[in-house]
Amino acid sequence: MSVSFDNMRKQITLKTQSATDDGYGGQVVTDEIYAIVWARITPLQTSRSLTSFVDDRLQHVRFYEVYIRYDPAVNELMKVEYNGKTWDIVSLEDINGEHNYLRLVCKEKIT
């Protein structure tokens, strides 16, 4: 698969979560912007239903393939924000192991 800057035309935000002390013995978790980068986004499938065992209801999700320039700090704990929606990173791959591009598989939960 050929990936280049020529077809990376969407801007995404990569977010991390940080926890800080709330002063009462607990923690406050907040999202922080790690980076805003150019990406190529392709839907992997239109829609798929999965059963959520947390709240015993059917949940609809969409999967996307997102290509970005290689960054060794990007990981599955981060989130992708695009067009006002937040996606979980399900997996990531260093394309051909050459440290040029990362392929992220992301999941959007549809409520």
> In this predicted structure, what is the pLDDT of residue 88?
96
Residue 80 CB-density burial (10 A; 0-12 exposed, 13-18 middle, 19+ buried): buried
Spatial separation of the C-alpha atoms in residues 71 and 6, rounded to whole Å: 19
> In this predicted structure, what is the pLDDT of residue 51?
46
Q: How many CB atoms lie within 10 A of CB 87?
A: 22
> How does pLDDT run across 25-79, given as a tens digit for each residue?
999 999 999 999 999 999 986 555 454 554 666 677 889 999 999 999 999 999 9
User: What is the pairing mode between strands 79-82 and 101-110?
Assistant: unpaired
86: left (phi over 0), alpha (psi -120 to 50) or beta: beta
> In this predicted structure, what is the pLDDT of residue 62?
87
56: left (phi over 0), alpha (psi -120 to 50) or beta: left
Spatial separation of the C-alpha atoms in residues 69 and 3, rounded to whole Å: 9
> In this predicted structure, what is the pLDDT of residue 50?
53
